[in-house]
Structure 1
């Protein structure tokens, strides 16, 4: 017997005893710029805390129930171990282990890197018990009792998805571990042996009975008084459940959350493979600090939801991104969809329409005339001035363009949607009126390839990842009119480059990551560089400011200096608005993700009917409402003056095209209210005006289809060839009189009385803002 005992002891001591005890997996948290929680991401809902941050009564409860002599033995509870050995022979491996042994088992389970290792850690054998005993003896020599207790309370599973005492306290009682009471501590201490059986949310009666057993055990071991225990025993559990919020779906900013997750999982800086990076994100307890501004996000989300409700029957979507110029930091990311995996559910999607395909987004959307500023930048960069002028008729044919390979392109027939913009135009008037035929000729003058290269210097790229010179997606004549599929993120950041004076920054959503397992902090520096001359950027900003002064963005000012451009694609398939102040840029997209077969025509959104949607019709008001709220706490800044090197900022004096109607405008705008559409158009054209009939009926007591109002007022003196806007009645109620109210304070156009003030009922150049 002595020899046998000696051999067993020698063999036991010769077993491997080194056990690494890495921090257990814990949840990662994504924070906004002010420290507010955006989302929690984890495989196991665990937050590791120090022993001093656990209530002493919690420590007493777990010791009393699981290992009353914990501070006396050397890692092995001899009596309990022999009882456990006998049970193990019959197939029961539960019970009898010291806290140290239980900690060892949990460490082996959590550190398993393969199914085989996991099976070995959980196998029902004497061998497993012996291995745990050897590790426990060694661990007691390396760690203090408090360190072992801290490790155990952080690694133990308490059921219902809560790992570790901190997460359990938060989940079951909505308090931190340091605030746990006697009753709460006894409840939690009773869970670790059979967390499924005693789950207090699902099995409250069993959990209550178990809690009372723990209280009795605490009395027996002197860790509480009989009076304190009796006061609690027999009472119902006082739960205060805080639901788990794992992942982006429960977040109030789910699409930004998803973008942050994609940024980590797709960046090889954080691991060799995407699988490694995903595991790091979900187990390392990262504190991920981001650029999201909660106030700006709320402003953007409220705006897109107001004009394009999430569950609209027409299935249209609005998406918006705000970016800080000079840093590239993404301040807001909103879209009018609920976050979810089932695309068949109305208003639900997991696609982030604000960004590129490789970041969880779509393959992009044609951006219309929001591309025209890239042509302006290319022209200014090549030394052309604001006065660069072309005869820009209602339609023209452009020949002689070549792609970036030098191959000639076919002739291009391009037209303006409204011929009233025909005549001589320079950069100022061509931009204000978004004159297609002007920009087609300016692009030819600069060169298609130079225009594309300028766009690329501004960070513009296709959302599907293809290059502009890919044979399958070869950029064509209409590049300047926005024929390429891009994301709102790309457009917003390109405009932010203009706002920053030519400093391009990579879009950035993360500022730093604190790894609580390794203790490392990863700083995410802004990746910025000058890509265009400051004078070129300032020149474009000057031109885009003019659109608020009688141009395509009239009526959409925000009460401080701003520059902007509308965009509408051929057939009103997609509509855009992009604009910026010196310290904030934003781009809005509105359209149907199903594509060109579902244009923005004859649609009703939130009870408002739109015959045709242009960039200034819905995207513009979304941008305006967003920016008014988003810039409230930002200092008001002016743009630099127009660089003198580009010459005069005046518009040319343009002769009317011979084809335009002539008449006597000296008597002012005729009063055509109440007349039929055709009669009113005839009368106005006979007086020498060009007529723009709004596609959106307005509430009025005039007969349905007749003229409800005109703008400018009847009797107004206008030059020959000016545009008069006509609004038709819906016949459903009282409306404005035959004249319009005064213009809005920011110089915007009059709005029909039954429309929100942010919705421009007309834009004299809106129909010029259309792709070929």
Structure 2
């Protein structure tokens, strides 16, 4: 019979940690945390030895006295275990290392063959390991009932303490469980557990480990002092459940972590991994608070808000939050297992139409072709575009689209078209750029349909309205595309964790950002400049966060869904609001959310404030950075469209002037002037100009809007935000 017994570490729980070291979730087959013997209270070690093997430090793996005593008492009708701790350790090793049902049954069978096999291995272990090593292994592998494996997990589960904090009462109770974990479970069978504890205490007194007085003090306890914690296995009890689910899928689908999905799943749940994630706890909390505030989880209209934050330049995911409880029963109000932030392969849906948040893709394609900010078109309330060609060379039929409210803004350049999110402007811009070229830019920026297919798939060719966001995508994909603009054109794969420490193999896997420069930095900086203007008299007016920011609203046709995507130089985020049952069939019209009634939800109505509230808190944890200046080559010239003149001196400095004088000066310089209705606090005289946006000296094309803010007097309610009407110019998909 072979004598050598491999002693691999038993299955251990894996833990996900956020960037501050906080626990997000535990994932395990067995709730076990391996610890050293020195981290186990000595009184707990004594209790286990007293009840299981009081001559443990004297015998050589097979206790003849204990075995014959047990046999004698069995003959007398008193059942008693005769296995030493070493033998029990061997039995547990054989059970845990069984790779087939036959091996498992052989390890558990009540036969003489099994006993002889255990004795042979036990004798070998006593030669290869010290007594302390055997005791440590046994206390880590033993089952203490109620799903708790090992002394550390048992101490945490039953008492909410670590194993090194156990006292005599707790230690004697736990030691008594191991022989029959179900029968002596203190949570379900407290009286039997207390009786068993008395037996342990008696054994400790007999072994002179404790005094009779110490035992009597514990015996006098009339009730068990338990602090039982609920099972925390998996993503349901996680602090960020959908992020947890994203990580589980990322590991199970990545061939780097195992040959097949089954092997990777076992590794995740048994190897005691310490997964260091990219989740920032404060950003996650801010994102979750915002989506829950605006779109409560149990809203009767069944709408959902989902938000994801990504760090530009690294792709590290900082937050994933949606207004749903994580759970498998979709029929329960406010519960889902679908991660609406992710694409289908990562547990998400097949995506949603992003509306006008897709227009910056066309801006990037235009700038990449050398068009300037002065590229202008007559942009009436409605227009027709013809002659567009898809990537297969097929010519599409003529396309007629309209602006929201049938507005007729006249001639718009790239700045004005972006500020007003004019459908008719972008339809003409896409026609000049080329539909296929716009599609290629989207895919260059890492975008694809939520179901994983490309936009130029022959079976699902993109249509005329591509620039207006008619293709279903995931919020994650859009956030990452906007992060590419923020990073100066560097596209990074979304990264949910940076390091995995495998405690059982004592190895560490380092994961680095996978980034590539996919568009010219000037193109990215040009898009960022244009999207900053939306906060100045545009569709994002009133959604400022107190820092330089760029962003875009989006509302799909008929109010089916609403979006906001925005970023600072070092943080990008996307918010989606809609109905997972099908936005087109259950639009955002005439609904009540959080006690507020909405006749029609636009991108700036709910998604914008969610993004604003999230970013106002999140940016407190990152440096305050400025965007690069607008690239000079785009400031003048209109590419292949009619050019608008560029003002050489930039925005005049009118701070301190009267309202009338300032307006006159700015209009003479060729700008459109918007005077805010809300005064702001400043050192300037009440009623005079306190500030302008963009700042004095900023180079803008002719006709661009300059916002003027007047100074409040001491008795006037003042604000630092630009109020405006964020929904009045919001477009819909044509």
Scaled to the shorter chain, the TM-score interval is 0.7 to 0.9
How many angstroms does 1:263 deviate by? 1.2
The reply on whether 1:746 has 2:721 as its aligned counterpart is yes
Gaps of at least 5 residues in structure 1 are 1-14, 654-667, 669-721, 724-740, 750-760
Q: How does 1:285-434 map to 2 (within 5 A)?
A: 285-434=272-421
Work out whether residues 143 and 149 of structure 2, in 8 Å CA contact, stay in contact via their aligned partners in 1.
yes
TM-score of the superposed pair, with normalisation by structure 1:
0.83
Q: 1: distance between equivalents of 2:599 and 2:160?
A: 52
How many angstroms does 1:437 deviate by? 1.3
| Other-structure match for 2:615 | 627
Work out whether residues 492 and 578 of structure 1, in 8 Å CA contact, stay in contact via their aligned partners in 2.
yes
- Indicate which of 110, 130, 151 corresponds to 1:165: 151
| Other-structure match for 1:268 | 255
Work out whether residues 404 and 729 of structure 2, in 8 Å CA contact, stay in contact via their aligned partners in 1.
no
How many angstroms does 1:373 deviate by? 0.4
Structure 2 counterpart SS, 1:585 = strand
Structure 2 counterpart SS, 1:504 = strand
| Other-structure match for 1:53 | 39
| Other-structure match for 2:57 | 71
How many angstroms does 1:92 deviate by? 12
| Other-structure match for 1:102 | 88
Q: How does 1:203-282 map to 2 (within 5 A)?
A: 203-235=189-221, 236-282=223-269
| Other-structure match for 2:26 | 40
Work out whether residues 387 and 649 of structure 1, in 8 Å CA contact, stay in contact via their aligned partners in 2.
yes
The reply on whether 1:568 has 2:530 as its aligned counterpart is no
| Other-structure match for 2:605 | 617
| Other-structure match for 1:689 | none
How many angstroms does 1:471 deviate by? 2.7
Q: Alpha carbons of 1:313 and 1:644: their partners in 2 closer, same or farther (altered >3 Å)?
A: same
Alignment deviations for residues 330-368 of structure 1 (CA, whole Å, 9 cap, x no partner): 111111111111111111111111111111111110001
Q: How does 1:670-749 map to 2 (within 5 A)?
A: 744-749=719-724
Q: 2: distance between equivalents of 1:367 and 1:600?
A: 14
How many angstroms does 1:419 deviate by? 3.0
Work out whether residues 382 and 401 of structure 2, in 8 Å CA contact, stay in contact via their aligned partners in 1.
yes
Stretch of structure 1 that moved more, 299-308 or 403-412: 403-412
Q: Alpha carbons of 1:568 and 1:556: their partners in 2 closer, same or farther (altered >3 Å)?
A: same
Q: How does 1:552-563 map to 2 (within 5 A)?
A: 552-563=539-550
How many angstroms does 1:498 deviate by? 0.5
Size of the alignment, in residue pairs? 662
How many angstroms does 1:371 deviate by? 0.7
How many angstroms does 1:568 deviate by? 0.6
Q: 1: distance between equivalents of 2:72 and 2:111?
A: 11
Q: 1: distance between equivalents of 2:482 and 2:421?
A: 17
Q: Alpha carbons of 1:353 and 1:186: their partners in 2 closer, same or farther (altered >3 Å)?
A: same
Work out whether residues 162 and 168 of structure 1, in 8 Å CA contact, stay in contact via their aligned partners in 2.
yes
How many angstroms does 1:86 deviate by? 8.6
TM-score of the superposed pair, with normalisation by structure 2:
0.87
Work out whether residues 428 and 649 of structure 1, in 8 Å CA contact, stay in contact via their aligned partners in 2.
no
Q: 1: distance between equivalents of 2:365 and 2:316?
A: 26
Structure 1 counterpart SS, 2:528 = helix
Alignment deviations for residues 37-78 of structure 1 (CA, whole Å, 9 cap, x no partner): 111111111000001111111111111111111111111012
- Indicate which of 565, 570, 592 corresponds to 2:579: 592
Gaps of at least 5 residues in structure 2 are 646-659, 661-703, 706-715
Q: 1: distance between equivalents of 2:30 and 2:76?
A: 32
| Other-structure match for 1:637 | 625
How many angstroms does 1:79 deviate by? 3.4
Alignment deviations for residues 93-144 of structure 1 (CA, whole Å, 9 cap, x no partner): 9710011000000000001111111111101111111110111111111111
Structure 2 counterpart SS, 1:485 = coil
Q: How does 1:108-119 map to 2 (within 5 A)?
A: 108-119=94-105
Q: Alpha carbons of 1:149 and 1:207: their partners in 2 closer, same or farther (altered >3 Å)?
A: same
Q: 2: distance between equivalents of 1:616 and 1:87?
A: 80
| Other-structure match for 2:566 | 579
The reply on whether 1:525 has 2:551 as its aligned counterpart is no
Work out whether residues 325 and 583 of structure 1, in 8 Å CA contact, stay in contact via their aligned partners in 2.
yes
Q: 2: distance between equivalents of 1:419 and 1:241?
A: 63
How many angstroms does 1:459 deviate by? 1.1
